[in-house]
Amino acid sequence: MSTAPITSATSPMVERPTSGWPLWRRQLLAIFRMESRKSTFTPRALLLYLLAAAPVVLVGGASLINLWYGQEITAGQLVKIFSVMFQVFYLRGVIFFGCVWVFTNLFRGEVLDQSLHYYFLSPVRRGVLVAGKYLAGLVATATLFGLGVIVTYFLIHLPVGWSGTQEHLFNGPGLGHLTAYVSITLLACLGYGAVFLLFGLLFRNPIVPVAVVLLWEGINFLLPPLLKKISVVHYLNSWMPVPMPQGPFAIVSTPPPAWLSTLGLLTMTAVLLGLATLKLKRTQVSYGEE
């Protein structure tokens, strides 16, 4: 007696894709969801939240003290203060170290937790794995730091009152400045994320390479034009609404247009992620060495 598979005319069987882009897209989304939870809802994410909250607390506290003592300050002065704070404290401090923490741990965290082999045993391409983890880290850092920039920008304008803030935003350069700072935050997470994801694969202990990058980014204004291009901050300077004075020893060079800087940063990011994929293809899990 033979049997035939039972099918329904109203609910036909749907075949899942077994190869090609449809499969890679499903795998990418699955990896992205898992890694997003790891990046935002685990104890390891606590440092990321603390870094994102630090400028909000400091600027909010300073603004409240200013209001308490009634010190007079203008919106123009606050524009310059926020520019210096963003470039020195936010960009080279909070965002930099936040990206170090998140992106170097995307693969090193798996090694330390002895869970990377689960990914390697699954039928997923290494490029898809790199892309899924990178996107999860990018969304986590860009979202938290972007929101932090917005909140900080409003808090720093507390001394001029709500009417003064509205005047600055809608009748002055404020809204354009805020858009530029949020865009810089996104691009910084994009570039630094690719750098430190690769570091997490290349180095057992990335502290020294990270320190070298921090120093290199810090002295970017002293470098000749050709060497300036080998940095992330170089591609962000074109977006700065209020450039910071670089001192008498800076080597002055004309920054490229913002669109060209963005294209250069995207190209650098793609190259770094490609190198990370090549490195991951040659990686074998050996937890005993950690």
Looking at every residue in the chain, the average pLDDT score rounds to 83
Output the pLDDT for position 63.
84
Backbone phi and psi for residue 141, each to the nearest 5 degrees, phi listed first: -70, -45
| Strand runs labelled E in 12-65 | none
Q: Please determine, for residue 4, whether its predicted confidence score (pLDDT) is greater than 50.
A: no
Closest CA to 87 of 198, 210, 185, 164: 185
User: Does residue 236 or residue 8 have the better pLDDT?
Assistant: 236
| Amino acid found at 239 | W
Distance CA 260, CA 166 (A): 32
Output the pLDDT for position 116.
78
State pLDDT tens for residues 239-262.
Answer: 888 876 665 445 666 667 888 889
Helical segments of the chain, H only: 20-40, 46-69, 75-85, 96-112, 116-121, 126-156, 161-170, 174-202, 207-218, 225-228, 233-236, 258-281
Helix (H, G, I), strand (E, B) or coil at 268: helix
Q: Please determine, for residue 162, whether its predicted confidence score (pLDDT) is greater than 90.
A: no
Output the pLDDT for position 206.
87
Distance CA 56, CA 272 (A): 32
Tokens of 203: 């180095």
Do 275 and 198 contact (CB within 8 A), yes or no? Answer: yes
Closest CA to 245 of 91, 80, 78: 80
72-98 b/e (C-beta count within 10 Å ≥ 16 → b): eeebeebbeebbebbbebbbbbbbbbb
Distance CA 162, CA 168 (A): 10
Picking from 13-22, 194-203, 205-214, 271-280, which range would have the lowest pLDDT averaged per residue? 13-22
Distance of CA 119 to the CA centre of its chain: 24
User: Does residue 138 or residue 203 have the better pLDDT?
Assistant: 138
